[in-house]
Structure 1
């Protein structure tokens, strides 16, 4: 009996020692805030989390466009004195508070034939909701821009199988998180995109644009070059074309290309105002140049 009591006492002491070591390890283990990734997501209600987006940084926007491309997009710079020409090609950085999340640059030149304006904006989207991925949040941001342009993508009326949907919020959203669907961006969902602009045809015109978009053509846009979805650029993309009057006579055209690659949304705006008041900026030329730049930037993000 005495030996049996001694063995039981030894086992109890060993168990107490094991519990003490486990408690000590629990207090000292794990990584603190300094050791974690600022984009990391905590566990959701079920203890699971989604992966962060593909991109953790952004390109430097003013240096993201090759000099040869800038010469083509800004023809007026060639006639400037060397110092002014170099300044024009360097561009002006957009002021942002976090260049890893938002960055941009703009260029402008005035020449004898007219003026040109170019800007690029990079937005790296991060979702702080542990149940919503960065990519899905970026899809919502992109969809909001599409709706603002009055463009409805083919997937708007019939979501494809396997398309993720954001979970319904339980009593609110986390900072930087989202509610369900494209309403999180403050814009209408794709299925209820803005109504066509006045004067639009009731049916899309023939040609590639007819199958790619239900957007409407602004006044002065040639048939087949209407605002539309671009099916062959990045994960999703669209083009907008707007002709306006600057002042009382001069006509100004701005072509915008917006595309999403994973969790980054890129916006390009390229505009021209001819010097002659009777001249209308060429949609085809501006669209081709803007799309060419968009493809170059999409490839740069992939590198």
Structure 2
């Protein structure tokens, strides 16, 4: 058996006494673990590092991606929420399958357990982990950017009893900003995805501010800052990238936020 903790501490060197397929299979199984040390600090950290270093062939990456997709329907929350992280690493490494996108979309808007950190399970972070994959897909030429923008606002507006508290709003704001850098977006494309929020906020519930409203406003504030100042995307070699429809998007975000907090802007 491989000592995964030592392997990580020794710089993620790939063992030579086992086949890569065997190593991947064991690590994929460890990703299901409720133990955050096994799942996050070992399985995820090692897989993500090896994917980034090009250890796996495209065929192996596709097989791993295919294995992640059914996990969106798993009964255990940590299994569901770590699947998008692995898919994000795979797509970022250059391997993409269109069949991975619809199951991710269905899970992202429907996920009910939005806890960031749990004392026993560790980091779950459904919104943040899903945002990472959303942003990567939003930059991918094979994915319609409007599709990801609508997915983001759909996630935010889905009724929930949970107020985000672990920087999920910033992660999703970044993903939306990255998607908005796509040059093929028209002014309408870049702004009309916010119309559902405008409609929802125009009819506030009598019983007070719902958690999804708070989550949406905070995310849009983070997005506003990124749209205003520009964003560094992974494909941009560290260069600050401007949102082509910067002024139109800022105006639309302001319109949405003003409905809830007219004193703010």
TM-score, length-scaled by structure 2:
0.24
Larger of the two Rg values belongs to structure: 1
TM-score, length-scaled by structure 1:
0.22
Structure number with higher helix proportion:
2
With CA pairs under 8 Å and 6+ residues apart, which has the higher RCO, 1 or 2?
A: 1
